[in-house]
Copies of this chain bind each other. A is one copy, B any other.
């Protein structure tokens, strides 16, 4: 039987979870204006102190049969992502909610929506990569510059720049807590069923490495209010997502 695009399976757009991720991030941590941010975060989530993050990253993502799929269908294992996240609370538990995440492949778009992320398809995401054997590039060191941008339709949705100053450690990165989302599939005609389910994404196996910390800047079409930069960072990260847990209000 041919799978529905959203029903995980071998002929679907989405392979069966859990899904494993390895990502290279260029991130900027900043403060937005809570009044603006409130328009980006739906209930039951409450905007916290205005702390936000923006990033672009390249992700290698696989299911449990990853070792085979990376070779047979590399196009189903690599994508780029750009996003803005807002620190918020569900009841007393802090976390991060992403008003939007732009991605470059069908399967990351649909898988994310199924899990509760507000994913959109980018036309293009580009970001700095260094290469250790390139005779014109140095390894990352104090002063190294990184940048990235995301394009969609007639404009740029997000761009950021980071200049690193020193090696850091995973503990230098803010901990937002949980990752929140909303699983949403609205009824739009008379009598149709729908889903509207706030969730916490089930993330495990988190690890971070190769952290560098420095200054940064960010521009986005998202209306986050006046931006106060905290710092920029580049790092690598890995984690597993096994689905999401409905939140009881």
Contacts and interface: CB of A to CB of B under 8 A. Distances in A.
Contacts of A121: 13, 105-106, 109, 121
Interface in A131-165: 131-138, 144-149, 151, 153-156, 159, 161
A8 B113 CA distance: 15
Contacts of A127: 74
Contact of A134 (B1, B17, B42, B66): B66
Interface in A204-229: 205, 207-209, 222
Among A4, A73, A243, A245, the most chain B Cβ lie within 10 Å of the Cβ of: A4
B188 A131 contact: no
A191 to B, nearest CB: 5
Contacts of A208: 133
A70 interface: yes
A31 interface: no
A104 B143 CA distance: 30
A46 B121 CA distance: 35
Given A135-B240, A137-B22, A195-B195, A114 B188 contact: yes
Interface residues of A, number: 107
A77 B133 contact: no
Nearest to A223: B2
Contact of A123 (B62, B110, B123, B186): B123
Nearest to A1: B39
B137 A236 contact: no
Nearest to A184: B4
A185 B134 CA distance: 28
Contacts of A193: 183, 195, 197, 246
Interface in A51-72: 60-64, 66-68, 70-72
A101 to B, nearest CB: 10
A30 B232 CA distance: 44
Interface string A93-130: 00000011000011001100111001111011011111
Interface in A173-215: 182-186, 188-195, 197, 199, 202, 205, 207-209
Given A67-B144, A132-B209, A185-B185, 13 more contacts: A4-B184, A5-B118, A5-B120, A7-B184, A66-B134, A67-B145, A68-B145, A75-B124, A133-B237, A136-B240, A188-B243, A189-B245, A191-B246
Interface string A36-53: 000110100000000000
